[in-house]
Amino acid sequence: MPRGPVDSSRVPRFAGPATFARLPRLDEVGRADIAVVGVPFDTGVSYRPGARFGPAAVREASRLLRPYHPGLDISPFSARQAADAGDIACNPFDIGQAVETIEEAADALTADGARLVTVGGDHTIALPLLRAAARRHGPLALLHFDAHLDTWDTYFGAEYTHGTPFRRAVEEGILDTEALGHVGTRGPLYGKSDLDDDKRLGFGVVTSADVMRRGIDETVDALRQRIGDRPLYVSVDIDVLDPAHAPGTGTPEAGGMTSRELLEILRGLAGCRLVGADVVEVAPAYDHAEITSIAASHVAYDLISLLAFRE
Ligand SMILES: N=C(N)NCCCC(=O)O
Ligand SMILES: [Zn+2]
Ligand SMILES: [Zn+2]
Q: Residue 70: which region, alpha, beta or left (left: phi > 0; alpha: psi -120 to 50)? A: alpha
The residue type at 18: A
Q: Is 46 in the pocket of ligand 1 (CB under 6 A)?
A: yes
Nearest atom, ligand 1, residue 123 CA: 1
Distance 5 CA to ligand 3 centre (A): 30
CA distances from 220 to 106, 211, 242, 267, 280 (A): 29, 9, 20, 9, 22
Q: What is the pLDDT along the chain (311 residues), one digit of tens a residue?
A: 999 999 999 999 999 999 999 999 999 999 999 999 999 999 999 999 999 999 999 999 999 999 999 999 999 999 999 999 999 999 999 999 999 999 999 999 999 999 999 999 999 999 999 999 999 999 999 999 999 999 999 999 999 999 999 999 999 999 999 999 999 999 999 999 999 999 999 999 999 999 999 999 999 999 999 999 999 999 999 999 999 999 999 999 999 999 999 999 999 999 999 999 999 999 999 999 999 999 999 999 999 999 999 98
pLDDT at 311 (0 to 100): 85
137 is in an annotated binding site: no
Q: Is 239 in the pocket of ligand 1 (CB under 6 A)?
A: yes
Cβ contact 41:106 at 8 Å: no
User: Ligand 1: which of 43, 45, 46, 153 to mutate, judged by most atoms within 8 Å of the beta carbon?
Assistant: 46
Cβ contact 266:303 at 8 Å: yes
**Could you say which ligand is closest to the alpha carbon of residue 161?**
1
Q: Does domain 20-309 have CATH number 3.30.530.20?
A: no
Distance CA 235, CA 123 (A): 9
pTM for the model stands at: 0.99
Distance 251 CA to ligand 2 centre (A): 6
Distance 142 CA to ligand 3 centre (A): 13
Distance 129 CA to ligand 1 centre (A): 18
239 is in an annotated binding site: yes
